[in-house]
Structure 1
């Protein structure tokens, strides 16, 4: 509610001070539940918070990290976070769409495959259409869902909203959904990437250089 009110006042210039926010009302205490944090970010609000959040979550993984995202154009910090956690022995699985609605983003994403696979990450390309789910699960207990892609547009330009959850039951449900994506995917092998034509690898790398404006 507070985040909605903040956005509303910023966009319209109207004051919502006459409305009482939930935090100001007398409500019955909630028993049970689990920790959760909603995070709204954008170019004018908490700039840079999203890549910092993802980098910290990735670094916190101890045994397993699974991420699905339709658009993968990471900054250097995020890319190295994924490589570092895989080098540390964590099982890192990344799920992208096999056919993207943006051929430019698709080429940029694939420019990172060699580095990720060489570090030990596992990449799956979803065959059932444009997989648009943005999900992250860590060690069976922490999960993240929301609107942020792992790309520079989400990090620096877009207004995004995500929720971080610490609950084994919900994390298991998201994990099972991720497994269904993997079941409908093709695994990308390092040996396959190394046989891509030279001109294709150059093309992917050239496109990746314009990542900040994609």
Structure 2
């Protein structure tokens, strides 16, 4: 198909496709002449992925590049793939001058026995969130955090089972990244519904 047909099929404006091409987010089409290139199903799939990452997931151009590079040359293990995916997600970059995580939060994470790295960006994010919540008067005792953690562990089991059903490492990366970005709102909505349900049963 021509690039105009790719635009129509994907629902992405022609100008945006040309921007993706300039930024290297979309691979060039097969040249048919000096002024014409043909695009196939792989281009349509890439456009949809880029759109999901950049427009819906808020990944940003640099993050999208890292993900696409990993998709084109997947690392040897799916665990490494997960690390690349997490590193590209919004809010996961820890600045060099960032404060160390709150010691109590770091100790809590260690007590879970999950085997995550002390420097994992999510440890910093958790620390920031807990400190902000407590500053606003939300106590979050360790017993409550443990229950939240147990619930999230079950969510993670579902996430990784879904990713594990992918036939290739590239499909697994797509599932992890796009799934995390686009399923987070699903989890939030389910939490709201669950709160309403539990509240109703407790009167």
TM-score normalised per structure 2: 0.29
TM-score (normalised: structure 1): 0.28
Higher relative contact order (CA 8 A, sep 6+): 1
More strand by share: 1
Larger Rg: 2
